[in-house]
Amino acid sequence: MKHIVTACTVAATLVTALPNPADAFTSRSGARVNPVNAAIFEVVPRNSGRTNDIWCAASEFARRQLGAGWKTRVYVARDRGPSVTTGRRTAVQFTIDPQAAGITPAEGGFFKSGFNVGDSMSVQQADGMCEPVPIRF
């Protein structure tokens, strides 16, 4: 009986440490977006992740889940690295509130190349990086 209680306790601990799948958002490109905390969300691409696909997913999440306007800026909070929400090898973290996330917006505040902490673009600019959805007849 003691072993069953211990196993249940360990299982409950593991389940509470993982994000709730209902909290996850899937973008058009198939990237998963998970909240890290109240200020930061993480884009986890399906594969190694093209820069455009990651920015696109960040834009979609900011607009659809956070209610951000088209002119709202999306900031890189952490560059490419291991996912803290899924354990996958590649993820990028973003925020729409740099002060709450504890980051300093980059000089000029605009996207340069790759994912540098503090770089940003508007939701509309990032949405422009999305691949058009094919129309099938």
pLDDT at 137: 73
Per-residue pLDDT tens digits for 17-50 = 444 544 578 888 889 999 999 999 999 998 878 8
Strand 40-44, strand 32-35: pairing: antiparallel
Q: What is the mean pLDDT of residues 121-125?
A: 95
Cβ atoms 122, 74 nearer than 8 A: yes
pTM: 0.78
